[in-house]
Amino acid sequence: MNSIITGTHIVKTYGKGAEQAMALNGVDVDITEGEFVAVMGPSGSGKTTLLFALSGMDEITEGTVKFGDTELAGLQGNALADLRRTRMGFIFQQPTMLRNLNLLDNIMLPAVQDSKRNTVELVQKARDLMIQTGIAGLENRDTTEVSGGQLQRAGICRALINTPEILFADEPTGALNSKTAEDIMGLLVSINQAGTAIMLVTHDARVAARADRVLFTRDGNIVSELILPKFSGGELEARGEKVVARMAAANI
State which residue, 44 or 148, has the beta carbon closest to ligand ATP: 44
Segment near ligand ATP (CB under 6 A); pick from 13-21, 128-136, 154-162, 206-214:
13-21
Nearest approach, Cβ of 14 to ligand ATP (angstroms)?
Answer: 3
Contact call for residues 63 and 5 (beta carbons, < 8 A): no
Nearest approach, Cβ of 130 to ligand ATP (angstroms)?
Answer: 30
Amino acid identity of residue 203, one-letter, is H
Segment near ligand ATP (CB under 6 A); pick from 14-22, 62-70, 160-168, 183-191:
14-22
State which residue, 47 or 153, has the beta carbon closest to ligand ATP: 47
State which residue, 10 or 80, has the beta carbon closest to ligand ATP: 10
State which residue, 21 or 245, has the beta carbon closest to ligand ATP: 21
116 Cβ partners below 8 Å, 6+ apart? none
With CB under 6 A as the contact rule, the residue among 15, 74, 134, 195 that binds ligand ATP is 15
Residue 14 interacts with ligand ATP (CB under 6 A): yes or no? yes
Output the DSSP codes for the chain: --EEEEEEEEEEEES-GGG-EEEEEEEEEEEETT-EEEEE-STTSSHHHHHHHHTTSS--SEEEEEETTEEGGG--TTHHHHHHHHHEEEEESS----TTSBHHHHHHHHHHT-TTS-HHHHHHHHHHHHHHTT-TT-TT-BGGGS-HHHHHHHHHHHHHTT--SEEEEESTTTTS-HHHHHHHHHHHHHHHHTT-EEEEE-S-HHHHTTSSEEEEEETTEEEEEEE-PPP-SS-HHHHHHHHHHHHHHTT-
Residues in 34-73 at the binding interface with ligand ATP, rule: CB under 6 A? 41, 43-49
Total of residues contacting ligand ATP (CB under 6 A): 12
Q: Going edge to edge, which strands form the sheet with 21-32?
A: 21-32, 3-14, 62-67, 70-71
Nearest approach, Cβ of 90 to ligand ATP (angstroms)?
Answer: 15
Segment near ligand ATP (CB under 6 A); pick from 15-23, 29-37, 79-87, 90-98:
15-23
State which residue, 154 or 222, has the beta carbon closest to ligand ATP: 222
With CB under 6 A as the contact rule, the residue among 4, 23, 169, 188 that binds ligand ATP is 23
State which residue, 218 or 242, has the beta carbon closest to ligand ATP: 218
State which residue, 42 or 68, has the beta carbon closest to ligand ATP: 42
Q: How many residues does the chain have?
A: 252
Which chain residues interact with ligand ATP by CB under 6 A?
14-15, 21, 23, 41, 43-49
